[in-house]
Structure 1
Amino acid sequence: MMSKQRGATLIVVLFLLLAIIVLGTLAVRQSLVSLNIATNSQAQQLLIQNSDSAFFNVERVDNIIQSLSSSGMFGYISGATDKDKELVFCYRGSETSFFDISRASIIYWKPGGTAPTNNEFGIEGYCDASEQATNFFTSGRRAVMTQVAVKFSSISENDPFFGAQFGTDDQAVKFDRSKPVKVFAVSVMPTLTNADSADINTCFRNHMSEVTIPEGTSVALNAVSRQTVTECLSELNVPFTSHVTEYVIVQDFV
């Protein structure tokens, strides 16, 4: 009789241990889910903050003055021959100047080309996700990198007078027409992905906005080349945020 009671006690103890193990496993899983949610929320917040920081710098008064110059992010591609070009640069938070024309790149399609030209002005403007890169992050934490692109709006692309000036006569002061321009910011956290840094860098060298392809170019043969940065990053499962703000550049004299 005593041996039967001991056997029953052993079975009860085993059931209790099994219940404890199951409850413990569920608790650990719940904790991991909560941790992942918190991590994703923090990562998303960081990405949004860094994109916002880029736009804050675009709108700073002292930066706007430089941006409208011939070597600025707006002025450099404001001419009639540059309306289809996209100016790209990496937001380097460790540097004092937000924009430097010598560290920017231009990407555009040449008529009849089979892929966009992205190295005519050099490749310094594209962010670098490799481990050796030290100055492509927006802050000292080296967590987020943000790539910015400037492109005049598609509204202007169909304007035959884009880039033209107007005034009373040849001797009088000339004024630029108002021009809508779009600024794109894509923020990425390379440490939260298993994607190869070389593949991420390839994504950075794509168009960041709507792609303008000249007439006569075979669209069917260039499906991959027509990818935007965000489409490429999505295929690699790289965490990112993408924001766009449209501005209208006007001359105002008081």
Structure 2
Amino acid sequence: MNRLSTQKGATLIIVLCVLILTAMIGAMIVRQSMTSLNIATNAQAKQLLFQSSDAALMKVQNASESLILTISGSLGRSMNSVSKSQEIVFCYQKNSADFFNVTRYSTIEWQDGASAPNGSISGTLGYCQVSQASRNFFTSGRNAILTQVSIQNIGTSTTSTESGAFTGHSLGTDAQSLNATAGGGNNTQSNQVIRVYAVSLMPSMSTASGAAINTCLNSHMNNPVVPTSSTPTEDSLKTISTCLNQLGVPFSTQYSDYNLVQNDLEGV
């Protein structure tokens, strides 16, 4: 009788050990699955952000000539801006009928003597906002991605920091035409160069508040140009990308330079 009880006790212990081992293996499998899912989700998010920024840049590249050159358009204002620090800003909305809307853009500029950029020079309608009851700023149907576009005049082909003997000049330019002589003087040809930034972000994949994200978008520049008369603060020198990165917001920033060549905008 005692022997039978001992056998039953040993069987129970074995069963319990098997159950514990099974539970441990199951937990490890679930944990591995969650890790794989997280990696897949991050990869998909990066791909979506890249595609959103790229789509915005392609819209600029394929924009109509009349839209680009008009003085009231965003690109036209950037090209005719005296200040090379100013950025023209608008929120890209994929399903909007108008890529550029002359009533919905903002400018941000570092003015002489200021300690930080001023993003309210022409209002704040151009900046993307995480939450806005009267208007949807998201590019995707599920309100997942915001894409903000900024345009900055970075000079002419002769003053641009981009390297290369013919960088910034129209196709077909040769050494002779580059330094063409007119009236006995040097008539070096040059084109206007603008830089277009596209910043896409996913606020829902971050714990940062909407207000903090909005501040990154409307108070920071992509390429801050500090006047010699200004004493900037450490925070004001942050770019939009740096600000979003410090908040832990997934984002993708892309930019492309364009030449204004005889009423045509050509990517370089």
Q: The TM-score by the shorter chain falls in which range?
A: 0.7 to 0.9
Aligned partner letter, 2:229: G
Residue 71 in structure 1 maps to residue 72 in structure 2: yes
Give the equivalent residue in structure 2 for 1:162.
Answer: none
Distance 1:134 1:81 in 2: 32
Q: 1:54 aligns with which of 56, 59, 62?
A: 56
In the alignment, the residues of structure 2 paired with residue 186 and residue 133 of structure 1 have an alpha-carbon distance, to the nearest angstrom, of: 23
- The alignment's TM-score, normalised by the length of structure 1, stands at 0.86
Question: How many matched pairs?
Answer: 236
**For 1:14-25, what aligned pairs fall within 5 Å after superposition?**
14-25=16-27
Output the amino acid matched with 1:151: Q
SS at match of 1:102: coil
Structure 1 position 132, deviation (Å): 2.9
Residue identity opposite 2:52 in structure 1: N
Does the Cα contact within 8 Å between 2:90 and 2:149 map onto a contact in 1?
Answer: yes
TM-superposed CA distance for 1:92, in Å, is: 1.8
Match of 2:198, SS state, is strand
Determine if contact 2:94/2:140 at 8 Å carries over to the other structure.
yes
Is 1:90 aligned to residue 101 of structure 2?
no
Deviation track 1:79-134 (CA, whole Å, cap 9, x = no partner) reads 35232211111002232000112211111111111221110100011100016364
**TM-score calculated relative to the size of structure 2:** 0.81
Look up the SS of the partner of 2:82 in the other structure: helix
Q: Check 1:227–1:61 CA distance in 2 against 1; reply closer, same or farther (3 A cut).
A: closer
Alignment partner, residue 173 of structure 1: none
Structure-1 residue corresponding to 2:168: none
> Partners in 2 of 1:131 and 1:29 — Cα distance?
37
* Paired position in structure 2 for 1:116: 117
Farther off after superposition, 134-143 or 114-123: 134-143
Which 5+ residue runs of structure 1 have no aligned equivalent? Answer: 160-167, 170-175
Query: What does 1:174-193 align with in structure 2 at a 5 Å threshold?
Result: 177-193=190-206
Contact 2:157 2:190 in 1 (8 A): no
Q: Secondary structure at the match of 1:87?
A: strand
Q: Distance in 1 between matches of 2:61 and 2:80?
A: 21
Q: Are residues 1:194 and 2:190 paired?
A: no
Per-residue deviation at 1:73? 2.1
Q: Give the structure 1 partner of residue 244 of structure 2.
A: 233
Aligned partner of residue 103 in structure 2, secondary structure: helix
Q: What secondary structure does 2:219 align onto?
A: coil
Deviation for aligned residue 1:135: 2.1
Q: Give the 3 Å change call, closer, same or farther, for CA 14–71 of structure 1 in structure 2.
A: same
Contact 2:88–2:108 (CA under 8 A) maintained in structure 1: yes
Kindly provide the amino acid, as one letter, of the partner of residue 228 in structure 1: T
Aligned-pair identity (%): 40
Aligned counterparts, 1:1-20, within 5 A: 1-20=3-22
Is 1:178–1:248's contact at 8 Å kept on the other side of the alignment? Answer: yes
Instruction: Verify the 8 A CA contact 2:156 2:190 in the aligned structure 1.
Output: no
| Structure 2: gaps of 5 or more residues | 161-181, 184-188
2:133 is paired with a residue whose SS is coil
RMSD over aligned CA atoms reads 2.3
- Aligned partners of 1:52, 1:77: CA distance in 2, in Å? 21
- For the 8 Å contact 1:84–1:157, the answer to whether it is kept is no
Could you tell me whether the CA contact under 8 Å between 1:87 and 1:106 is conserved in 2?
yes
Distance 2:134 2:244 in 1: 19
CA shift at 1:224, angstroms?
Answer: 0.5
